[in-house]
A and B are shown apart, each in its own frame.
Chain A
Amino acid sequence: MTTAELSRSTLLRPRLLGRTTVNVVVAISVLYTMLPALWLVLAAGKSRDALFSSNILSFKDFSFVQNVKDLFAMDGGLYSRWYGNSLLYAVLGAALGAMISVACGYAFDKYHFRHKEKLFGLVLAAVMVPQTVLALPLYLIASATGVVNTFWSVFIPVLFNPFGVYLGRIFAQGYVPNEVLEAARVDGAGELTTYVRVSLRMLGPGLITVFLFQLTAIWNNFFLPMVMLSNQKLYPVSLGLFQWNSQATVSPEYYPVVIMGSLLAVLPLVLAFIFLQRFWRSGLTAGAVK
């Protein structure tokens, strides 16, 4: 005890110095992550000429509203179409995908069957397989079955989320005590009824975590839609912005539109992460501690 007190008093001065250093380092890191995002916000308010000529901090050519109008008018209002598609792919896909993965992870935790761990190993292997490896065969299969260049060619593959199964198993272990299931069985409740009425409710936070991760992944998805879709009207925002950006090198009127479009495309995920902090933090804990 005395040694601790002693070291505390002798360390007081360097500790004060240390505190400053630590805070400065963290502050610089936060600036590094926040400034590009801030640039996006500021640049979104600039007209095309101002973007190339004036100081980023000057508000002389403020045309935020005009840029929003231009964005939604560009190419016959394609952007709102893309936005709607992205919402459809991401929200619907993540909701359905999370249900499917968590149900499977739950079954892995609560039931015993032959070759269980081998099957789980297969699920873990699927986590590691690069998406680019699957893209060509998926495209060929989609062409053979005639779903290529349709909503389904993007929607079905994004439902597949092996990491969600892994998380689902961990959550089932942590949140649903086996005694609860035993009690339900003694009461004569069916297994699936128990799952829907009892376990699913306990799995709620875990389900939201998996949903959020999958929402991010689908919203960010770019490779698969690029391979599958040729009809612009089916594009998600990510692919649409990529295409507009490629055109911007030739016709610079796309620049302000792409920047404004990017800003609006970032908003839903930022809001989701801020409001659902509690859940994804617990999800990361589950993944990290294991």
Chain B
Amino acid sequence: MTATTQVPATAAAPARETDSSRHKAQRAARRRRGGAAGVLMAPFFVLLTLVFLIPVCTAVWLSFFSDDQPGLGFGPERTVFVGLRSYAAVLTDPSFLSGLSTVALYCLIYIPVMTVGSLALALLLDSGLVRLRSWAQLGLFLPHAVPGIIAALIWLYLYTPGISPIIDVLGKADITVNFLGLHTAIPSIVNIAVWSNLGYNMVVFYAALQAVPREVLEASVVDGAGPVRTALQVKAPLVRSSIVMVAMFTLIWALQLFTEPMLLRAGSQVVDARFSPSMYIYDAAFSRNNYSLAAAASVILLIITIAVSYGVTRWTNRVNSAEESTR
């Protein structure tokens, strides 16, 4: 490229010469920058290809093929194209569908509780009425530093009769609760997730609230709005983008539900090996060694995740633009 546009600098005017050399220098600089960008980005994109793109493509490919054993299972195993058969098998499998409805119910309880709870706490902490604010924040945030599996372990013990002081205390008041029963297992799992992430999301909201301009708040006080009205009608709408972000990440994580029920299986009859879609995938892949079934379930879970997050983004964009047009 640069060689063809090079001007032979024999009898060129000085002005032109500096002009062309500047061009040359610029082009060289641009190339150098391109090279630098390449060097800085290459390691990440190598990883992206290795542990993201290739696996996703592999999952899609696997879901269309299956190991068939002709001749009543005595013949040699061969891999054949089965089209959408694995998808049909997953979508008609009652254990997968019940896993989906379990996660749907889990999301329905978990996301509102988490979003409203952490936002409410952030608003309370932002009200300026709380003593020892940074200690309270640290205390609320602490569970986030507890690994998910250990959080589930702690709560499993707190749900286990004989070990749990909670059940002990309730027992003294003649209340018997089975935290891992048919109707309590999902709320108990929600509780573990809320405990782990409440403080984290509270800090996200608190950070966003700190960025609300003070003039806006002063204006609302001058207008005679009390602290509750200021919090609900002025502050909360201003951190809407954070609310959407928190709800979205909570949703994406909730759809992957795996660690907590996996651990609670030890103490509960209700939680089985295919309790959630992620557990179904694990069970299909590593207990039943049915790779095509697991891959099809993975792709379905992936499509649900993408569809839901796309839907949430579209919906909030529409709400946002509608709000702006009414202003």
Contact = CB atoms under 8 A, between A and B. Distances in A.
A130 B302 contact: yes
B294 A136 contact: yes
A289 B289 CA distance: 45
Contacts of B232: none
Given A51-B163, A137-B54, A111 B124 contact: no
B236 interface: no
A136 B59 contact: yes
Contacts of B130: 22-23, 26
B153 A258 contact: yes
Given A122-B48, A133-B302, A290 B263 contact: no
A289 B29 CA distance: 34
A37 B141 CA distance: 12
A289 B59 CA distance: 36
> Which residue among B136, B145, B154, B195 has the maximum number of chain A CB atoms within 10 Å of its CB?
B145
B153 A287 contact: no
| Interface SS of chain A | helix
A241 B285 CA distance: 23
Interface string B1-43: 0000000000000000000000000000100111111011101
Interface residues of B, number: 100
Contacts of B36: 107, 111, 190-192, 195
Contacts, number: 269
A39 B165 contact: yes
B44 interface: yes
Interface in B139-159: 139-150, 153-158
Interface stretch (B71-79, B104-112, B205-213): B205-213
Interface stretch (A66-74, A76-84, A262-270): A262-270
B276 to A, nearest CB: 9
A245 B263 contact: yes
Contact of B129 (A22, A191, A255, A287): A22
Contacts of A242: 149, 262-263
B204 A284 contact: yes
Contact of A135 (B157, B211, B282): B282
Given A103-B41, A128-B306, A285 B153 contact: no
B37 to A, nearest CB: 4
Interface of A: 1, 3-4, 7, 11, 15, 18-19, 22-23, 25-27, 29-30, 32-34, 36-37, 39-40, 43, 51-52, 56, 100-101, 103-104, 106-108, 110-111, 113, 122-123, 125-126, 128-141, 156-157, 159-160, 162, 165, 185, 190-192, 195, 216, 219-220, 222-223, 227, 237-239, 241-242, 245-246, 248-249, 255, 258-259, 262, 265-266, 269-270, 272-274, 277, 281, 284-285, 287-290
Given A56-B165, A140-B58, A273-B144, 7 more contacts: A137-B55, A141-B54, A156-B51, A223-B282, A266-B150, A284-B204, A289-B207
21 contacts: A18-B129, A43-B163, A103-B44, A128-B252, A132-B256, A132-B301, A133-B299, A134-B59, A137-B59, A156-B50, A162-B48, A216-B145, A220-B147, A241-B149, A245-B263, A255-B163, A262-B154, A266-B145, A288-B204, A288-B205, A288-B211
Interface of B: 29, 32-37, 39-41, 43-45, 47-48, 50-52, 54-56, 58-59, 62, 121, 124-125, 127, 129-131, 136, 138-150, 153-158, 162-163, 165, 168, 195, 198-199, 203-205, 207-208, 210-211, 221-222, 224, 226-228, 239, 241-242, 245, 252, 255-256, 258-259, 262-263, 266-267, 277-278, 281-282, 285-286, 291, 294-295, 298-299, 301-302, 305-306, 309
